[in-house]
């Protein structure tokens, strides 16, 4: 069995969203046959099958975000030189209880710390609330369960959010990163319009001074 992983799609792209599968489990495919379509931050790309064989498993469904090198599909009857990602061994389960404490979370690329207990974080995940949206009311800026519930109520009143995909999602991520990392600056200038000579159009004079080529001519 061979496992086909998301290949390098070029231009430094590290992830892609599954748009549609052109095959299903049990289908027999030929090499270079269209396998699936994915949407990146640049465009929708059709990925051909690298092997000939029978589809044994699809590791992702339409709408899933798959990172570079993550498994996409396994092929039966196509050799056995790839790892199918099976976990071997037992996982140890602890029985002792650890006291909860408010630990800072990293919110976005800006690195602003958000304090919340694990229980509040779990509540936020269950309600689909980003902790950065909650207004902390606890001591030392700790986000409480009531803060998360208020944020969830506000989201419910505003209606379901639109899922951004592809280029729009990449644009939103870049704008959010710029907002958090780039210092905001405002440039202001004062103009004393009372100093202009009478009988002159203030707007035309200012336009001629700033953009001489754009100033309207008087014929």
CATH of the domain at 71: 2.40.50.100
168-215 pLDDT, tens per residue? 777 877 787 787 788 878 888 887 777 777 777 766 655 555 555 545
Residue 90, Cβ density class (10 Å: 0-12 exposed, 13-18 middle, ≥19 buried): exposed
Burial 164-189 (b: 16+ CB within 10 A, else e): eebeeebeeeeeeeeeeeeeeeeeee
17-62 pLDDT, tens per residue? 899 999 999 999 999 999 999 988 888 889 999 999 999 999 999 9
CATH of the domain at 164: 4.10.320.10
Which of the residue ranges 85-89, 114-118, 128-132 would you say has the lowest mean pLDDT?
A: 85-89
| 105 and 154 fall within a common domain | yes
Pairing of strands 34-39, 15-21: antiparallel
| 67 and 122 fall within a common domain | no
Residue 217 inside a domain? The answer is: no
Residue-range definition of the domain harbouring residue 12: 2-76
| 107 and 49 fall within a common domain | no
Structure tokens at 34: 């269209």
Q: In what order do the strands lie in the sheet with 44-48?
A: 44-48, 34-39, 15-21, 65-67
């Amino acid at each position: 069995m061979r496992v086909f992983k998301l290949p390098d799609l070029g231009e430094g792209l590290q992830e892609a969203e599954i748009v549609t599968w052109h095959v299903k489990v049990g289908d027999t495919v030929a090499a270079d046959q269209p396998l699936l379509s994915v949407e990146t931050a640049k465009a929708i790309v059709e990925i051909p099958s690298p092997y000939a064989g029978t589809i044994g498993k699809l590791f992702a469904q339409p709408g899933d975000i798959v990172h570079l090198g993550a498994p996409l599909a396994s092929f039966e009857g196509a050799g056995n030189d790839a790892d199918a990602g099976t976990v071997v061994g037992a996982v140890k389960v602890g029985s002792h209880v650890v006291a909860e404490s408010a630990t800072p979370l990293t919110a976005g690329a800006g690195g602003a710390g958000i304090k919340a207990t694990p229980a509040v974080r779990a509540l936020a995940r269950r309600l689909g609330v980003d902790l950065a949206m909650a207004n902390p009311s606890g001591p030392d800026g700790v986000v409480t369960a009531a803060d998360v519930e208020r944020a969830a109520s506000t989201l419910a009143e505003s209606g379901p959010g639109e899922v951004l995909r592809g280029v729009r999602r990449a644009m939103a991520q870049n704008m959010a990163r710029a907002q958090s990392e780039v210092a905001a600056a405002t440039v202001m200038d004062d103009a004393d319009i009372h100093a202009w000579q009478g009988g002159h159009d203030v707007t035309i004079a200012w336009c001629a001074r700033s953009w001489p080529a754009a100033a309207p001519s008087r014929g």
